[in-house]
């Protein structure tokens, strides 16, 4: 069974996730580490726990989720994987960083593209890629049926949803994604979002004011 470790990084308070299996293999999702102490915190944890980083995944390519991509690629020798519809955001990210006065090392190019419905094998575990556009054109979530959790990026939050006023965003598309891809999952599936506290599918069905 996978262990989930998370860190909250950068001025946007973004959640970076590490999925760890019994073999001490590790998938890094959305490394947002920006400040030097954040980068050291991530690296020190991986070293202390004796983890072997095997994959780097982005739920989407807004800058707060990719600030540590270059660090992970150069330090651990893994390649970036994203959905192709978010490549345009990755390409524009350096200029967006300047706009927010957050200069950063540009992310490496992806080595492969994720597909909706594909299964990512992780030791004895498995993640399913769910394409959930709306917050961004190529936003994806990573669902573990056995672990009863989903790494959700900025699609669904505790009593909220992702913003849709950024380039490529669409409010109705986001609502459709949540209803068609996430709300069909079991109620006890825990959602680990890109910002803020975790929640469950069942709780959001009952209490999320954006989805009534």
| Residues 56-98 pLDDT 10s | 999 999 999 999 999 999 999 999 999 999 999 999 999 999 9
DSSP string, 173-212: HHHHHIIIIITTS-TT-EEEESSS--EEHHHHHHH-GGG-
Helix then strand count (H, E) for the chain reads: 5, 14
In the chain, % of residues over pLDDT 90: 98
The model carries a pTM of: 0.98
Of 40, 129, 48, the closest CA to residue 84 belongs to 129
In the chain, % of residues over pLDDT 70: 100
d(CA 32, CA 41): 12
What pLDDT, in 10s, does the model give residues 131-173? 999 999 999 999 999 999 999 999 999 999 999 999 899 999 9
Residue 1: pLDDT band (50, 70, 90) is confident
* Main-chain phi, psi angles of 31, to 5 degrees: -70, 110
pLDDT of residue 204: 98
d(CA 44, CA 29): 17
Query: How many other C-beta atoms lie within 10 A of the C-beta of residue 60?
Result: 29
Sketch out the chain's domains with CATH numbers.
3-211 (3.60.15.10)
């Amino acid at each position: 069974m996978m262990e989930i470790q998370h860190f909250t990084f950068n001025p946007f308070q973004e959640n970076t996730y590490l999925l760890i299996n019994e073999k001490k293999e590790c998938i890094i999702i959305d490394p947002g580490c920006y400040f030097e102490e954040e980068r050291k915190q991530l690296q020190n944890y991986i070293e202390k726990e004796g983890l072997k980083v095997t994959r780097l995944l982005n739920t989407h390519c807004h800058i707060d989720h990719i600030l540590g991509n270059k660090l992970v690629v150069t330090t651990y020798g893994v390649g970036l994987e994203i959905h192709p519809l978010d490549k345009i955001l990755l390409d524009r990210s350096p200029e967006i960083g300047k706009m927010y006065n957050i200069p950063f090392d540009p992310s490496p190019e992806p080595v492969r593209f994720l597909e909706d419905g594909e299964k990512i094998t992780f030791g004895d575990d498995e993640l399913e890629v769910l394409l959930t556009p709306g917050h961004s054109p190529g936003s994806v979530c990573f669902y573990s049926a056995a672990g009863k959790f989903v790494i959700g990026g900025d699609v669904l939050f505790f009593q909220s949803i992702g913003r849709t006023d950024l380039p490529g965003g669409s409010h109705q598309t986001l609502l459709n994604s949540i209803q068609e891809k996430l709300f069909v999952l079991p109620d006890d599936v825990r959602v680990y979002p890109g910002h803020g506290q975790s929640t469950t599918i069942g709780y959001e069905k009952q209490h999320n004011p954006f989805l009534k």
